[in-house]
Chain A
Amino acid sequence: DSGVTQTPKHLITATGQRVTLRCSPRSGDLSVYWYQQSLDQGLQFLIQYYNGEERAKGNILERFSAQQFPDLHSELNLSSLELGDSALYFCASSGGERGGREETQYFGPGTRLLVL
């Protein structure tokens, strides 16, 4: 158990809908990362938050947005869903924005999204 929690575990919805995925980082971790994993691609970095502020953006679509709240949990909002958005969405957390060395990211169990 990494200490990172994600809800829900599974989500089935229809095209055009909007969903919210939730992540709670490990106790004490300030950084939260979101990744997407689809069958034909590896893990793709979406976005990073550090202590409530957006720090880095990857291949995140404009239909997707995220935020990190004062209690450090994070939510990933996916809107106008398309069939191609079906994937596993993982949240990871680490201790800080930048340490002396690259900090290890610990991953949650993921949310499996199926768009029908």
Chain B
Amino acid sequence: EDQVTQSPEALRLQEGESSSLNCSYTVSGLRGLFWYRQDPGKGPEFLFTLYSAGEEKEKERLKATLTKKESFLHITAPKPEDSATYLCAAAPPGFQKLVFGTGTRLLVSP
């Protein structure tokens, strides 16, 4: 069964303290790995798509990387406005659904 696991469940950082979020997936024939940001009560906001192992993408303080078994979301010098839940999702072959992990709740304190 296709599965996505994110760790840690929650992460508390001081402003400027860099860290990484992990997303492990067991999806045969992965068609894409997606990262979203979700604020409380809002819809997921698209951040990145990664398609193949070794691929990296960056946006401001965020950088996403992909290996054959996992993806990392690196947060460099975070600010309080980066506080949110970060969701990882995998697209298996066959049809277009996304398999989501349960997310990492990030809190950045000033």
Contacts and interface: CB of A to CB of B under 8 A. Distances in A.
A42 B32 contact: no
Interface size class of B (residues with CB under 8 A): 20 to 34
Chain B facing A: main interface SS: loop
A48 B46 contact: no
Interface string B28-43: 0001101010000111
A33 B101 contact: no
Given A42-B87, A42-B103, A43-B87, A103 B44 contact: no
B65 interface: no
B86 interface: no
Given A102-B91, A104-B34, A94 B96 contact: yes
Contacts of A109: 42-43
Question: Which residue among A31, A55, A104 has the maximum number of chain B CB atoms within 10 Å of its CB?
Answer: A104
B43 A42 contact: no
A95 B108 CA distance: 35
A56 B91 CA distance: 13
B90 to A, nearest CB: 9
Given A55-B95, A102-B91, 16 more contacts: A2-B45, A4-B43, A31-B96, A42-B100, A43-B100, A44-B100, A48-B97, A55-B96, A56-B95, A90-B43, A94-B96, A102-B31, A102-B49, A104-B49, A107-B44, A110-B43
Interface of A: 2, 4, 31, 33, 35, 41-45, 48, 55-56, 58, 88, 90, 94, 97-98, 101-110, 112
23 contacts: A2-B45, A2-B46, A4-B43, A35-B100, A41-B102, A43-B44, A43-B100, A45-B99, A48-B97, A56-B96, A56-B97, A90-B43, A97-B96, A98-B96, A101-B51, A102-B32, A102-B96, A105-B34, A105-B46, A105-B98, A107-B43, A107-B45, A108-B43
Interface of B: 31-32, 34, 36, 41-46, 49, 51, 87, 89, 91, 95-103
